[in-house]
């Protein structure tokens, strides 16, 4: 499951932000390593909402996300919340 989430998140970064696949490592910082800025984060939220069919625009936990691994954990949490 987590591997599938990771793959889907990586797809978002490749499709929406044109990041090369070899840069998409779990520990990669989305700002410092992948070069996203505050405007990109708005678009990241939209892309993740579309990809995972979730509503996260006002979720405060987004502000704490720094790495791809953080993002993966966050999506996993959302999905378990949704299924519980």
**Nearest distance in Å: CB 39, other proteins:** 4
Letters for 47-66 (x = contact with other proteins by CB under 8 A, - = none) are: --xx----x-x---------
Q: Is 37 tagged catalytic?
A: yes
CA distance 55 to 35: 24
Q: At what angle do helices 38-52 and 2-17 cross, to 10 degrees?
A: 130
CA distance 82 to 41: 23
Choose, from 37, 40, 43, 59, the residue flagged as catalytic. 37
Q: Which of 3, 4, 20, 37 binds other proteins (CB under 8 A)?
A: 37
Q: For residue 51, what is the enclosing H or E element?
A: helix 38-52
CA distance 60 to 53: 18
CB closer to other proteins out of 28 and 69 = 28
Q: Which of 2, 25, 32, 42 binds other proteins (CB under 8 A)?
A: 42
Residues annotated as catalytic (active site), given as ranges: 37
């Amino acid at each position: 499951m987590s591997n599938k989430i990771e793959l889907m998140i990586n797809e978002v970064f490749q499709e929406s932000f044109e990041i090369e696949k070899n840069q998409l490592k779990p520990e990669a910082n989305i700002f410092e390593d992948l070069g996203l800025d505050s405007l990109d984060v708005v678009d990241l939220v939209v892309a993740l909402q579309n990809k995972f069919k979730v509503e996260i625009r006002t979720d405060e936990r987004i502000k704490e996300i720094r790495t791809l691994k953080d993002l993966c954990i966050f999506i996993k949490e959302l999905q378990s919340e949704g299924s519980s």
